[in-house]
Structure 1
Amino acid sequence: MMNSSTTPVDKNVKLVEATNLVAGYLPGINILNGCNLYANQGELVGIIGPNGAGKSTLLKALFGLVKIREGSVTLQGEAITNMRADELVGRGIGFVPQSNNIFPSLTIEENLQMGAFQSQTAFTERFDFVTDLFPTLGTRRKQRAGSLSGGERQMVAMGRALMMNPSVLLLDEPSAGLSPALQDEVFVRVREINKIGVTVIMVEQNARRCLQIVDRGYVLDQGKNAYEGTGKSLSTDPKVIELYLGTLAK
């Protein structure tokens, strides 16, 4: 689990590993076709690729929201393949979906409280920790979440996931639909979350920006691994630029 202060982590220790995943939503139709991924302790890992590549499906498979038909997922070496989402939360995995990720009729404080459902006794400690990371959430704690900007809503969604004290945080396109300025703010927050010791696996549509901040990245295409490497190596790879980054990387 995550600690409330920055602690040294060994980025050579494998925390999450997905091997040869085959998964999909409809019978006989696979979205993932032998996908592989791992994340070491304290790493920030990015997943990019074209629309329909299976990026979000991969996150949902890791979090028990899509049935894995073949392959395996482990957490610290223990099998967690097809575990229910609530069981995975109890094991230290948090998930922030791309949309519908807050309760708009509830206040910021109430949203965060929903995130602490497994340990209400630790709410005050966790609330203080999250609002130290996201000060705006503390000063506006009584404001309804539905009245917030897109960037602020993402802060609430990430904050609520952190209330569960995860060791691994799965983020599905956190910058989607935001202005460039708000995208930058979200990426700063993601990096801050990672710096306190949380392993982050992030799907991101802003491929160039994603590769600038991640330790390692994966490029998916048609449900398979197309390329993988450090963020820097992928962002300068001529083939990745030509096929996936286009003019944005030039």
Structure 2
Amino acid sequence: MSDSGTGFGATGAAVRAEGKTDRVVVEITDLFAGYLPGINIINGANLVAHKGELIGIIGPNGAGKSTLLKSIFGMVKVRSGEVTVDGESVVGLKSDKLVQRGVGYVPQTNNVFPSLTIEENLQMGLFQAPKTYNERLEFVTSIFAELGKRLKQRAGSLSGGERQMVAMSRALMMDPSVLLLDEPSAGLSPVRQDDAFIRVSDINKAGVTTIMVEQNARRCLQICDRGYVLDQGRDAYHGTGRELLNDPKVIGLYLGTLGAEDH
């Protein structure tokens, strides 16, 4: 495991495992960002995601985890530092342009159009490239097979876990090179939480580089290739999921409370 001063903590062997490559998809360098003038929530954060990796971001409440994702997706003002996607800066780009650049984002709440059907939600995810609908529908239903059987059902009638599936599917319709997930297990029952983590793994195994913010720290670290512990807006620790799970400092400072719900 590495602390934030020793680089990104990814080994070539770990990155290349299971079809992953050394190609950098997302890189955050010395990022400062915040909502209000003069007040930064992100304070010098660094992160890298290679092609095919599943990256987990954990940390205490108020650490800036969701803000970091929103900074990547153009929803928070970046004051200094750099965010690149496939080697090109995306700082200052609006969300629609980021989607065109291959960035998918699933917020924690209000992440479906409840008055629309599942099919209409998926079509909304593909409004920039509607001609590829059938091809992308085949892809998302290969991961979320049950959605394919219920396309005419209104999203507002779905359970929380089912809505999460629709939200992830809609973000996948544009064939993103990276998918940003903000606490996909939040508010779900323990059984649905397990299902959400399985689906995240399935998405990643299908070849989608994934960056996930998650409050259920232990479960997140169990499935991710590498993890970052965010504290006060900067990456305090990072390493493989296994390294962080077994590191005494991380256990003592973070996992004791962050993983309390995952016994």
Q: TM-score, normalised by structure 1?
A: 0.95
Q: Which amino acid aligns with 1:220?
A: L
1: CA distance, partners of 2:19 / 2:88: 20
Structure 2: unaligned runs, 5 residues or longer: 1-17
Q: Which amino acid aligns with 2:225?
A: D
Aligned identity (percent) is: 69
1: CA distance, partners of 2:92 / 2:60: 26
Write the deviation string for residues 169-211 of structure 1: whole angstroms up to 9, x where unpaired: 0000000000111011011110010011100000001000000
Write the deviation string for residues 85-144 of structure 1: whole angstroms up to 9, x where unpaired: 111100111000001100011111110110111111111111122112101111111111
Instruction: Name the structure 1 match of 2:196.
Output: 186
Match of 2:141 among 123, 131, 152: 131
Instruction: Name the structure 1 match of 2:239.
Output: 229
Q: Which amino acid aligns with 1:34?
A: G
Query: Do the aligned partners of 2:25 and 2:177 also contact (CA within 8 Å) in 1?
Result: no
1: CA distance, partners of 2:86 / 2:124: 27
**Is 1:172 the equivalent of 2:182?**
yes
Instruction: Name the structure 2 match of 1:86.
Output: 96
Match of 1:211 among 198, 207, 221: 221
Instruction: Name the structure 1 match of 2:108.
Output: 98
Offset at residue 9 of structure 1 (A): 4.3
2: CA distance, partners of 1:179 / 1:10: 32
Instruction: Name the structure 2 match of 1:60.
Output: 70
Q: TM-score, normalised by structure 2?
A: 0.90
Aligned residue for 2:75, secondary structure, equals coil
Query: Do the aligned partners of 2:20 and 2:53 also contact (CA within 8 Å) in 1?
Result: no
Offset at residue 10 of structure 1 (A): 4.0
Query: Do the aligned partners of 2:54 and 2:204 also contact (CA within 8 Å) in 1?
Result: yes
Deviating more after overlay: 77-86 vs 22-31: 77-86
Give matches, 1:189-204, under 5 Å.
189-204=199-214
Q: Which amino acid aligns with 1:48?
A: I
Query: Do the aligned partners of 1:23 and 1:68 also contact (CA within 8 Å) in 2?
Result: yes
Instruction: Name the structure 2 match of 1:156.
Output: 166
Aligned residue for 1:53, secondary structure, equals coil
Offset at residue 11 of structure 1 (A): 2.4
Instruction: Name the structure 2 match of 1:27.
Output: 37
2: CA distance, partners of 1:122 / 1:215: 31
Query: Do the aligned partners of 1:61 and 1:82 also contact (CA within 8 Å) in 2?
Result: no
2: CA distance, partners of 1:176 / 1:158: 14
What stretches of structure 1 move > 3 A for 4+ residues in a row?
247-250
Instruction: Name the structure 1 match of 2:14.
Output: none
Query: Do the aligned partners of 2:74 and 2:95 also contact (CA within 8 Å) in 1?
Result: yes
Q: CA RMSD in A?
A: 1.2
Instruction: Name the structure 2 match of 1:14.
Output: 24
Instruction: Name the structure 1 match of 2:47.
Output: 37
Write the deviation string for residues 36-91 of structure 1: whole angstroms up to 9, x where unpaired: 01100000000000000000000000011101001001112211112111111001
